[in-house]
Amino acid sequence: MNKIFAARWLNDKQVVFGTKCNQLVVLDVQTGQLTMIPSLQSSDESFPASQPCGIHAISINPSGTLLATGASHTNDIGIYRLPTFDPFCVGECGHSDWIFDMEWIDDEFLVTGSRDSHIALWRIDNVDESRTSRMSCLYVPEYAIKKPLFSRPCEKATKVRALCVNRCRKIWSSRLTCARENVCMAVSEEKNLYAIGSHSFVTLLDSRKKTLQPIPAKNRDRGLFQGTEQAGTGVGLVMFYDLRAQKYLESPCGHPCQLPVGQGWLRHDENYRDIFFDTEYPNAIYTHCYDDMGVRLFTAGGPLPAGLWGNYAALWA
């Protein structure tokens, strides 16, 4: 499998993750068993896909009954029933390019963002024959094909890389001071605080005070941020930031509190031998998530250069 881009805990012993090679996998963290989930196929009406980009997002609705992720066609979404992963529907014709992120607004409505600079709103309810068609074949269970309620461009955006939902419904916009590769975002609804990860900074945005606070990443590395208090980077580290003290956590002896990642797995193919053989590249952390109890952290990713094929995953307790 190639790089792991997205992951979510399903329960206290299972994590589901998606890869750059478009595989959806359930990992049993107690036994190490991997279960491959078949991708859902789009219909012939879907927009032609460009070069596949893999699964960049996984989102579970608030009641835990539906899981949304990328479909086999990387411009579309696939919806599965939980906990069985039975196919529910495919959402198509909402985007003309790769889908980078998706978030449930509630149990019925889902929003997606794409490299085509559009966001799309989907209603994932019981099958409505007026808006859906059906597809099935000998080897694929029957499921619905849905179209979005609407798809609209984001002003001044060349692509939509990250989404998050804040139910406080406060409307405010601000230009970020760190404009290079803003690729991930998280929100704390309790604090009304957003965190945006970019190439060299994590920016904290307080929507109540309407303030921005850029936090330089250690060594100006890639701050792939997936939470409001911890950050995974592109140099093989997971770091922790103290929001009250406004500094990275340190041990009593003054050393930074950080989790170094392992070597993972790397495919020594022709591309590796011709271009990357004499250079070491630590694994980037593309995704991480805590379990419901907040005592175990799953981290995953792979080698940072696009030309390298490999993966990394770890469980911290």
Tens digits of per-residue pLDDT, 10-23?
Answer: 999 999 999 999 99
**Can you give the pLDDT at residue 27?**
97
CA distance 300 to 253: 29
**Can you give the pLDDT at residue 219?**
52
Return all residues near 253 (Cβ < 8 A) that are at least 6 apart: none
Return all residues near 299 (Cβ < 8 A) that are at least 6 apart: 232, 238, 259, 261, 285, 287, 288, 312, 313, 314, 315, 316
Q: Which tokens is 16 given?
A: 């589901």
Residue 165 amino acid letter:
V
Has residue 220 got a pLDDT over 50?
Answer: no
Has residue 69 got a pLDDT over 50?
Answer: yes
Peptide bond into 83 cis (omega under 30): yes
Has residue 129 got a pLDDT over 60?
Answer: no
Mean pLDDT (the chain) is 85
CA distance 27 to 31: 9
pLDDT (tens digit per residue) in 254-267: 788 888 888 899 99
Has residue 78 got a pLDDT over 70?
Answer: yes
**Can you give the pLDDT at residue 183?**
85
Say whether pTM exceeds 0.85: yes
Among 37-46, 187-196, 294-303, the least confident range: 37-46
CA distance 98 to 115: 5
Has residue 228 got a pLDDT over 50?
Answer: no
HSE, side-chain direction, 13 A CA sphere, residue 50: 9
Has residue 225 got a pLDDT over 60?
Answer: no
